[in-house]
């Protein structure tokens, strides 16, 4: 039996990733290189098919980096900041630290979303993803997408203005200014559901009140019938006020027991999830999200493409209750890819 044959026999018994070869074992240089390429290809494909889809899911806990780090005992906020920077007294003007950390939390979340999306879109986290819509994803320069995303006055600019005004003018319930405790998961979850419920109602109103109202408020966002991730906050000032800021204010005044960490967690999950559902590609977690009725890019593309279904954003529960939910799979092959 030649050395090459005996190595083939070993290959059948041992997982390919664990087999290593050295040049001295090879019968010829060419055969050795071919084997090495085979092993590399198999390792690469197992990385792409098994490990990498799960790497993308890490973006979700990373959205909460700031509140998680500042409430873990070794880096706790009381060791980092002097007490006078965060102590709240309703008689005095609110301290700016909570506002700064809230905006910083969302900004850090956005950075992780953009890193994830860049790697995912360009095939570093698996095969190049398929577009949601059958006609393909819109082509654009990455730098143009990022610039458009952050520069829209009706997007993050208006959101930061809203957060700053409501915070500094003491318009938030007192608990929101408190640094005591950790992320309150039930409150955070309730805020997300309530925000999406109110946003769902406002969104439906924008569509049905009158054509003039729709044209003035929501129509600019609907010029994207095949949206991309960077179109999430691209619309009009009126649309952001009606569909995002009014629900944010109402949610805060209904869920009146959040501390500052829960408000940060809610804000980051909300803003970044809203961004992600505008992705032009199916995302790694979509199967689980679809099963749970949580919003996916496919669900939101149904709204952008057909206008009269899927008014919810983070959850499809309100559409499922109201009869306006349509799975993107219903439109597969003709308008959407089969894999949505
Ligand atoms: Zn949209
Ligand atoms: Zn709409």
* Rounded Cα gap, residues 303 and 227, in angstroms: 10
Cα separation, 303 vs 101, in Å, equals 34
Distance of CA 94 from the midpoint of ligand 2 (Å): 36
Task: Going from the first residue of the chain to its last (340 residues), give the mean pLDDT of each consecutive group of 10, the final group possibly shorter.
Answer: 41 34 39 54 61 84 97 86 90 93 98 97 89 94 96 95 97 96 97 98 97 96 97 97 98 98 98 98 95 98 96 98 95 88
Q: How far is the CA of 301 from the centre of ligand 1 (A)?
A: 8
Per-residue DSSP letter, 133:
B
Where do we find the tokens 């939910």?
325
- Per DSSP, the three-state class of 93 is coil
Q: How far is the CA of 128 from the centre of ligand 2 (A)?
A: 29
The parent domain of residue 308 ranges over 58-331
Residue 314: what pLDDT? 98
Which DSSP symbol is given to 139? P
The CA 151 to ligand 1 mean position distance, Å, reads: 17
Residue 338: per-residue pLDDT = 84
Q: Which residues in 173-187 are b (16+ Cβ under 10 Å) and which e?
A: bebbbbbeeebbeeb
Tell me the CA–centroid distance for residue 316 and ligand 2, in Å. 14
Q: Which ligand minimizes its atom distance to the CA of 230?
A: 1
Contacts for 238 with CB less than 8 Å, ≥ 6 apart? 216, 217
How many separate domains does the chain show? 2
Instruction: Say whether both 101 and 6 belong to one domain.
Output: no
pLDDT in tens, 214-240: 999 999 999 999 999 999 999 999 999
How high is the pLDDT of residue 46?
A: 63
The answer to whether residue 277 is domain-embedded is yes
Question: At 71, phi and psi to the nearest 5?
Answer: -115, 5
The Cα 272–Cα 278 span in angstroms is 10
> What ligand is nearest to the CA atom of residue 309?
2
Which ligand number lies closest to the CA of residue 275?
Answer: 1
Residue 176 Cα to ligand 2 midpoint, Å, equals 31
User: What is the rounded distance in angstroms from the CA atom of residue 219 to the CA atom of residue 151?
Assistant: 20
Can you give the pTM of this predicted structure? 0.85
Do 66 and 44 fall within a single domain? no
For the chain, the 3-state helix, strand and coil shares in percent, each to the nearest 5, are: 65, 0, 30
Task: Please tell me the predicted confidence (pLDDT) of residue 44.
Answer: 58
Distance, CA 287 to ligand 2 centroid (Å)?
24
CA dist., res. 326 & res. 280, Å (int)? 18
Residues 193 and 44 in one domain: no
Q: Which ligand is nearest to the CA of 300?
A: 1
Same domain, 112 and 155: yes
Q: Does a structural domain hold residue 276? A: yes
What's the confidence (pLDDT) of residue 8?
A: 44
276 CA from centroid of ligand 2 (Å): 16
The CA 178 to ligand 1 mean position distance, Å, reads 33
Task: Find the 336 Cα to ligand 2 centroid distance in Å.
Answer: 19
230 and 121 in one domain? Answer: yes
Quick check: is 72 in a domain?
A: yes
């Amino acid at each position: 039996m030649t050395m090459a044959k005996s190595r083939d026999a070993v290959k059948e018994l041992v997982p390919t990733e664990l087999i290593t070869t050295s040049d001295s074992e090879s019968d010829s240089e060419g055969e050795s290189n071919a084997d090495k390429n085979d092993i590399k290809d198999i390792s690469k494909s197992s990385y792409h098919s098994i490990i990498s889809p799960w790497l993308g899911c890490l973006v979700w806990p990373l959205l909460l980096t700031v509140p998680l780090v500042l409430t873990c005992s070794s880096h706790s906020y009381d060791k980092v900041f002097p007490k006078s920077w965060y102590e709240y007294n309703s008689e005095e003007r609110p301290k700016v630290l909570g506002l700064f950390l809230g905006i910083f939390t969302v900004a850090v979340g956005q950075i992780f979303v953009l890193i994830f999306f860049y790697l995912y879109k360009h095939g570093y986290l698996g095969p190049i993803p398929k577009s949601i819509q059958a006609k393909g994803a819109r082509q654009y320069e990455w730098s143009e997408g990022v610039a458009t995303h952050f520069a829209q006055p009706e997007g993050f600019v208006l959101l930061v203005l809203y957060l700053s005004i409501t915070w500094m003018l003491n318009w938030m319930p007192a608990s929101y200014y408190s640094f005591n405790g950790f992320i309150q998961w039930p409150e955070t979850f309730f805020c997300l559901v309530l925000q999406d419920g109110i946003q769902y109602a406002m969104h439906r109103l924008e569509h049905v009140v009158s054509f003039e109202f729709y044209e003035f408020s929501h129509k600019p966002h609907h010029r994207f019938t095949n949206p991309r991730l960077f179109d999430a906050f691209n619309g009009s000032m009126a649309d952001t006020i009606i569909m995002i800021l009014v629900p944010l204010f109402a949610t805060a005044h209904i869920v009146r027991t959040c501390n500052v960490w829960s408000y940060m967690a809610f804000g980051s999950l909300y803003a970044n999830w809203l961004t992600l559902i505008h992705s032009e590609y199916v995302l790694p977690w979509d199967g689980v999200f679809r099963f749970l009725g949580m919003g996916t890019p496919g669900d939101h593309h149904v709204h952008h493409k057909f206008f009269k279904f899927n008014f919810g954003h983070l959850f499809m529960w309100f559409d499922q209750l109201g009869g306006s939910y349509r799975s993107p799979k219903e439109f597969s092959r003709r308008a959407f890819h089969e894999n949505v």
